[in-house]
Structure 1
């Protein structure tokens, strides 16, 4: 038996081995190697001669050669032909699907033709011990798929993506239209049928959506079986979905801040993006094998997380570009801010948010064209909005620093803040003042951080170590505004000026509102603050003035009968009130006599005290009797003095009025405009004014005179002049305060001849304790003004007194 078998093997020709393992490269489906018995004998013969490895290598080389020479070129030829076609832009979705289906179908048929040969090679390995590359995981079939992917990739044309992009774009459009259409049907019934299908863009009667879906499903199944889907189409699928997410988020969130959108968008990603991924990677089948179920789990876990992260990143990026408007529209935009806060925890876009918002503030807010009121409103909105994003205050600190620096450089910032705090019309800040919370200043210290409970503690972001303490970052709005300047005195000084303006402009004895705001300020700024004590004295002066006026002007006072007109005055304690503007005004003799009578009555009432009148301050109730009318007006003493002199003469020049009233001509001209608007005075020549009573022409002449004067007058300028503060400017008040130092400086330089700035500042801090605070730069400016006034000499960095 052994001899017979050996003789039979010896007669087996080599061409049978070539045919059994397709060593000549002729591959076809089916069992091309003859019967199973013949294949067993061929493998036995190969094993007897120890040629198993040689035959395996030759068989695999034949397969790899076929892949390189025919399979891969034939597949890519479909794409190069499409790219060279001049009519490719005119092809519809059906034609694109057909081209890709033909290419992939041909590749799939060619690849499956190798399955019998792969099976024979596996049998050869099992029976002869032949081996292929050991580094390839899995079986020989996985080795074949790896070579197929590598061969296709090595011959891939540069522009193959165009056809694939159109293929997946058309398939996604059909899926998206079907998904959205089914949701629309669930939400509401449509009575009109669409003329054109939104998926395939064909007419409704000739819709190709189902055919496109079937072709798409078949192509993806074939690519999945060959493990080519991710290699050939993975980037295009991701690009298509990311582009769709971006466009959907942009359209959903365009100028809409008052509703939360993130939950809605998450559901959209679940239904549309992840739903399409399941169609792509799972073939759209309802019943899945165990392997396909594993693929679906991969989609549900990995790809779901990937595209959810892409959603959060896209949403946050879109909102960051809109963040300036979102901040300005707070609190209506709070839902959008809460969405951003949720997404920031899942992305790494905090630095981008900070840079974008800082840039938006710099470009759109921090320039001279924006009013201080608008800048402050934006800053307050930013405080509230950014604390929604980051309750720890780190984002606010990083974003708002340029805004604080800009506000610090504007002269009217403090006045607007204080006005808003003590004005019921500005409810935003006045309501904040009602909260009984002490200020948290930059130089204050708090143990709040250490007292935070351990189970609610969370670490600060990485940027926080370079910023202020947590208690300062989370301070209330008023504390944040005060910290723009870092000093309470600046605000209370401004409040004194505003309080004085209110008292003297309204000339009312009702101080209930001012007392209420003063009590709130004491809670905020501290009751021991000396400047607030001065404000208390100012309010008390009003109540005292009311009582003194009632006593002097009572019917029981014997001087009452001698009065030509009643006089009421506001009696101010000079050392507690801020400085007034110094303006000259010579009142008429009749008025001076009445003021003197009032002074005598006050001296009788108060003993050793007297009054120093501010003639330019106050209000005068006048009745101006003209020929055809009578005016009842409330004017300033300067305006009343002007019209008083027209009783004696109807024609005055500016020079004459300036001489008799002691008022500068520029101020006088500004005050005369009031009477021009009333039609009482008319400028008949340059700097010559005439009293208008309608003489000669009756009422028509009066109307003509008033009309002639009105074009040259700007009512807004008049209103601004009447609303002008009666108090000295902050710079003038500060100059007066710094005069306290002058006598000390003169004494130093008299005894020591010459001193540098640093030595003068140190000695002032030593000898003038408890007085006005002064920084080195402020002292330098004060001394330089004295140099310009020739009160000091500055040489070689030293100040000294001039020699007489």
Structure 2
């Protein structure tokens, strides 16, 4: 009797397992048979219903693995992609505030729990991808383009905790949020750095990621470096923009605790080798722009960041390897922005010389002898660059102050004098414009009278005038469009006033005759005459003839002016008092003897090799010159070729002439 009972129990269990296996086979067959007609959600629902209906409660834990394995063994290659899309839709529709018993989100949660898929590895990948995708959607809506809201990382984490079912929080939700947050910010690094310091809250958020994830710090370093190269190192970017972005990058890297050398070296090299106006832009920003606060720092430029490859001294026992870009040691990066900018060229003398040029222009263009702002800036520069470096600039400012007193003394004797002058000590000033100009007698006479009194007061000193420098204020009675006489004031160059006075003596002139009278080339006269043409005081008759506009012809002149004449009204205006061309030529001449000696010893060399060797010469030389760009050097070598000092072969190799 007992044997019969055991046999019946065995047969009953066998039939039950057989029924379950058959139900499993039919459920899987139905699942894939309706693949094209029904969405995955509905097919999963029927599959779970079959599982619940056919598998007893006490056997479900065991059957979860068998049913899942049977399903996956017959699933197509696209099944996991479909599952990921299903999870994405699930997360998109999810809402903790509104859940119904028969809702899709609740059902999918039950599906994962009933089938036990939360514990299966094959579900983790599509589920994590779906969670990451949902976090990306939330992140782009919440944080993209917002750099000023503080603690956005925490805000995003809180938002994601509410927007993603709590059952999924166990899948490293916080790590996924940090990863997505970092990716979003890496895509907008350039804009975020450009907006600094307004973007400081966003920069602070990334500081947390850099401190906790060396891998993210490496990604940030590489991404920012490539972005700077792509967005800045090309002719379309202005030098001022490149320099400003460079400074902002330094500030941000300090917040993140990363070394600036790994990121900014390409930008530094581009500024040094491809932009000839870098030093001028830095000095302009330093004296009147965003870098003025850096100038006010009291410490001198003691910390200079140098290229370790160029160190002349061999390593000692105290030598230390370069610090990691992720954990820079204290003091490796200069805390002084100005020191970093100066280190682009490796010599503060280059910046002092550039400031000297700019100061000369500023002082000579001021008509009121006011030097207070220049003195204030000069005192700050002396603190930063050293008092000895600014000695020439001190003398220049003193010359203006002395000129004010001398001018007042001369005016006491010449009550009606209309001449003011700045008397410069030419040894301390940069080279000034020396173009010839024979002034009109009405200009030259008061200047000669001024010189006579000066010679008596300062005997035996004499004044040597820079003929084309200065400003002349005049008032003219001109005719407006209605033919009425009106008085207008003009501030002109001495050449422009000289030309007008000649037309007052004689109403019509040929360019050649004016050139003989003024000792100025015809092409320069043509540009300066366009100033008066633009004010309808002189008109252009033919190729080389100009005429003063008379009252009866004024209306006719306005109606008959040709487009070609209008195009000629452009005048470059007052040029710089400092001869920048002469200054650059003087710098380039320093290299001539070195180039000649180089080619004497080595025969013929290409431009690139000459440029490389000159860079080493500039670095190790005590002569204060800027490293020439390849374009400047090529022009300089071509000038030497034109002077029959060098030869350039068809292969681009330079050698000494006749060798």
- Do the structures match in fold with TM over 0.5? yes
The within-5 A match list for 1:242-257 is 242-257=132-147
SS at match of 1:722: coil
Q: Partner residue of 1:702? A: 554
Q: 2:517 aligns with which of 653, 660, 664?
A: 660
The within-5 A match list for 1:552-631 is 552-554=410-412, 557=413, 560=414, 565-625=417-477, 628-631=485-488
Check if 1:442 corresponds to 2:305. Answer: yes
Asked if 2 retains the 8 angstrom alpha-carbon contact of 1:515 and 1:539, the reply is yes
Residues in 2 aligned to 1:144 and 1:271: alpha-carbon distance in whole angstroms? 34
Determine which structure has greater relative contact order: mean sequence separation of CA pairs < 8 Å that are 6+ residues apart, divided by chain length.
Answer: 2
Q: 1:271 aligns with which of 148, 152, 162?
A: 162
Check if 1:222 corresponds to 2:114. Answer: yes
Q: 1:295-327, CA deviations, whole angstroms, 9 ceiling, x for partnerless residues?
A: xxxx3xxx3xx1211111111101110111111
Residues in 1 aligned to 2:426 and 2:104: alpha-carbon distance in whole angstroms? 93
Tell me whether 433-442 or 261-270 shows the greater mean CA deviation: 433-442
Q: Partner residue of 1:21? A: 10
Q: 1:789 aligns with which of 618, 643, 646?
A: 643
SS at match of 2:331: helix
Q: Partner residue of 2:374? A: 514
Q: Partner residue of 2:249? A: 382
SS at match of 1:684: strand
Asked if 2 retains the 8 angstrom alpha-carbon contact of 1:324 and 1:360, the reply is yes
SS at match of 1:647: helix
Q: Partner residue of 2:31? A: 79
- 1:586 offset after TM fit, Å? 1.0
Q: Partner residue of 1:499? A: 359
Check if 1:670 corresponds to 2:527. Answer: yes
Q: 1:177 aligns with which of 65, 85, 95?
A: 95
Residues in 2 aligned to 1:461 and 1:770: alpha-carbon distance in whole angstroms? 31
SS at match of 2:14: coil
Contiguous gaps of at least 5 residues in structure 1:
1-7, 28-62, 90-95, 116-140, 182-198, 200-207, 279-298, 446-458
Q: Partner residue of 1:401? A: 265
The within-5 A match list for 1:179-194 is 179=97
Q: 2:539 aligns with which of 682, 687, 696?
A: 682
Check if 1:542 corresponds to 2:400. Answer: yes
Q: Partner residue of 1:238? A: 128
Residues in 1 aligned to 2:366 and 2:471: alpha-carbon distance in whole angstroms? 9
- 1:690 offset after TM fit, Å? 1.0
Distance of aligned partners of 1:357 and 1:738 in 2 relative to their CA distance in 1, 3 Å threshold:
closer
Residues in 1 aligned to 2:229 and 2:108: alpha-carbon distance in whole angstroms? 51
Larger radius of gyration: 1
Q: Partner residue of 2:497? A: 640
Residues in 2 aligned to 1:97 and 1:792: alpha-carbon distance in whole angstroms? 82
- 1:421 offset after TM fit, Å? 1.8
CA RMSD of aligned residues (A): 4.1
Asked if 1 retains the 8 angstrom alpha-carbon contact of 2:96 and 2:165, the reply is no
Residues in 2 aligned to 1:211 and 1:722: alpha-carbon distance in whole angstroms? 78
The within-5 A match list for 1:329-478 is 329-347=195-213, 348-390=215-257, 393-394=258-259, 396-408=260-272, 409-423=274-288, 426=289, 428-439=290-301, 440-443=303-306, 462-463=324-325, 471=331, 473-478=333-338
Q: Partner residue of 1:728? A: 579
- 1:545 offset after TM fit, Å? 0.7
Q: 2:339 aligns with which of 479, 486, 504?
A: 479
SS at match of 1:634: strand
Q: 2:173 aligns with which of 285, 289, 307?
A: 307
Distance of aligned partners of 1:656 and 1:573 in 2 relative to their CA distance in 1, 3 Å threshold:
same
Asked if 2 retains the 8 angstrom alpha-carbon contact of 1:682 and 1:706, the reply is no
Asked if 2 retains the 8 angstrom alpha-carbon contact of 1:755 and 1:799, the reply is no
- 1:252 offset after TM fit, Å? 1.2
Q: 1:408-449, CA deviations, whole angstroms, 9 ceiling, x for partnerless residues?
A: 2112222222122222xx2x122321222322322499xxxx
Asked if 2 retains the 8 angstrom alpha-carbon contact of 1:514 and 1:539, the reply is yes
Residues in 1 aligned to 2:347 and 2:624: alpha-carbon distance in whole angstroms? 14
Residues in 2 aligned to 1:250 and 1:691: alpha-carbon distance in whole angstroms? 68
Asked if 1 retains the 8 angstrom alpha-carbon contact of 2:361 and 2:576, the reply is yes
Distance of aligned partners of 1:400 and 1:678 in 2 relative to their CA distance in 1, 3 Å threshold:
same
Distance of aligned partners of 1:791 and 1:168 in 2 relative to their CA distance in 1, 3 Å threshold:
closer
**Total equivalences in the alignment:** 620
Asked if 2 retains the 8 angstrom alpha-carbon contact of 1:680 and 1:691, the reply is yes
SS at match of 1:25: helix
Q: 1:318-347, CA deviations, whole angstroms, 9 ceiling, x for partnerless residues?
A: 111011111111222111111122223344
Q: Partner residue of 2:190? A: 324
TM-score computed with the length of structure 2 as normaliser: 0.82
Asked if 2 retains the 8 angstrom alpha-carbon contact of 1:309 and 1:346, the reply is no
Residues in 2 aligned to 1:219 and 1:547: alpha-carbon distance in whole angstroms? 96
Residues in 2 aligned to 1:317 and 1:20: alpha-carbon distance in whole angstroms? 61
Distance of aligned partners of 1:359 and 1:574 in 2 relative to their CA distance in 1, 3 Å threshold:
same
SS at match of 1:406: helix
TM-score computed with the length of structure 1 as normaliser: 0.68
Distance of aligned partners of 1:326 and 1:162 in 2 relative to their CA distance in 1, 3 Å threshold:
closer
SS at match of 2:505: coil
- 1:514 offset after TM fit, Å? 0.4
SS at match of 1:633: strand
Asked if 2 retains the 8 angstrom alpha-carbon contact of 1:320 and 1:356, the reply is yes
Distance of aligned partners of 1:601 and 1:757 in 2 relative to their CA distance in 1, 3 Å threshold:
farther
Residues in 1 aligned to 2:472 and 2:299: alpha-carbon distance in whole angstroms? 43
Residues in 1 aligned to 2:246 and 2:304: alpha-carbon distance in whole angstroms? 18
- 1:709 offset after TM fit, Å? 4.9
- 1:540 offset after TM fit, Å? 0.4
Residues in 1 aligned to 2:287 and 2:13: alpha-carbon distance in whole angstroms? 100
- 1:83 offset after TM fit, Å? 0.2
- 1:172 offset after TM fit, Å? 3.9
SS at match of 1:569: coil
The within-5 A match list for 1:258-297 is 258-260=148-150, 261-273=152-164, 275-277=166-168
Residues in 2 aligned to 1:609 and 1:716: alpha-carbon distance in whole angstroms? 42
Q: 1:600-642, CA deviations, whole angstroms, 9 ceiling, x for partnerless residues?
A: 3222222232222111111222233568444432211101110
SS at match of 1:22: helix
Distance of aligned partners of 1:609 and 1:707 in 2 relative to their CA distance in 1, 3 Å threshold:
farther
Residues in 2 aligned to 1:307 and 1:621: alpha-carbon distance in whole angstroms? 74
SS at match of 2:466: coil
Residues in 2 aligned to 1:489 and 1:164: alpha-carbon distance in whole angstroms? 67
Residues in 2 aligned to 1:249 and 1:364: alpha-carbon distance in whole angstroms? 25
Residues in 1 aligned to 2:446 and 2:477: alpha-carbon distance in whole angstroms? 22
The within-5 A match list for 1:516-535 is 516-529=376-389, 532-535=390-393
Check if 1:154 corresponds to 2:19. Answer: no
Distance of aligned partners of 1:309 and 1:717 in 2 relative to their CA distance in 1, 3 Å threshold:
farther
SS at match of 2:95: helix
Contiguous gaps of at least 5 residues in structure 2:
309-320, 480-484, 605-612
Q: 1:628-663, CA deviations, whole angstroms, 9 ceiling, x for partnerless residues?
A: 444432211101110111122100111111111111
Q: Partner residue of 1:120? A: none
Q: Partner residue of 2:312? A: none
Residues in 2 aligned to 1:365 and 1:155: alpha-carbon distance in whole angstroms? 55
Q: Partner residue of 1:111? A: 55
SS at match of 2:136: helix
